[in-house]
Amino acid sequence: MQDRIAILGAGRLGEALVRGFLESGWRQPAELTLTARREERRTELAELYGTAVEADNAVAAAGASLVIVAVKPQDAAALLAEISPALGGGHTLLSVAAALTTDWYEQRLPAGVPVIRAMPNTPSIVREGIAAICAGAHADEAHLALAEEALRHLGPVVRVAEPYMDVVTAVSGSGPAYFSLLVESMIEAGVLLGLSREISSQLVIQTMLGTAKLLRDEHMHPVALREAVTSPAGTTTRALRELEQAGVRAAFLNAIRAAHERSRELASGDAS
């Protein structure tokens, strides 16, 4: 078995992995094989990164020790039917497809193939994401460590037990949409009160970025940061009172709970 990595489905996330692997020097182009459906996309990827790019997923998977499934969940069953005859115990399969459980993969693969399930989020495309991983029945510490090392090229990685992957999906997988809705609302408020859309956007986006860096890099607790901004009887105090009276905190809890419930439904095969 060659120490190669196959990325099956080199879309935006798959391409982000390629860039991370190559720019860090963790892998060389000759150690990667990508797959893409369209011929023009295969040509584009080969020219950009100097890697092998195949149309045949089974050919790509057969020669790789780590096989990363980066297709959409609805395409995963057909992909596994294609690559399953080429896989064995010497392969490690890492799935970054949402909602699909390790058991779902194991039922469709030869016995003994180690499966790692991951849930990265959209900021992974710019290598500022975060991913959670869990191990299937045949995966051990070495398989987890390999998956973790690969995914760290997109951002931090945490390990969770598989029953909590649906919570991860609800919190961080869907999280960029929650922040985007908040940003959209704040920008609109600035415009309504007289700012240009360009300036309002710049103010809000930079404020969000700076706040995130304070929480992450300075290890500030959210309560401490909020209190540092909030002076008695000031502007922030009045704004926060409005948010609390509107039930924003409860709305976020209910929204994440609903996302968690839907993730569990999708994992059980309910696509309706």
> What integer pLDDT is reported at residue 270 of this predicted model?
72
Rounded CA gap, 145 and 1, in Å?
18
Q: What are the respective helix, strand and coil percentages of the chain, to the nearest 5?
A: 60, 10, 30
Mean pLDDT of the chain: 95
pTM: 0.92
pLDDT single digits (tens) 178-220: 999 999 999 999 999 999 999 999 999 999 999 999 999 999 9
- Structural domains of the chain, ranges and CATH numbers in brackets: 5-165 (3.40.50.720), 175-267 (1.10.3730.10)
> What integer pLDDT is reported at residue 179 of this predicted model?
98
Rounded CA gap, 213 and 207, in Å?
10
- Give percent of the chain above pLDDT 90: 94
* Residue 6: CB atoms within 10 Å: 27
pLDDT single digits (tens) 223-264: 999 999 999 999 999 999 999 999 999 999 999 999 999 998
Bridge partners, 95 (sequence order): 69, 117
- Give percent of the chain above pLDDT 70: 99
Rounded CA gap, 263 and 257, in Å?
10
Cβ contacts of 106 within 8 Å, gap of 6 or more:
113, 115, 136, 137, 138
Looking up tokens 């994401």 gives 129
Confidence class for position 271, pLDDT limits 50, 70, 90: low
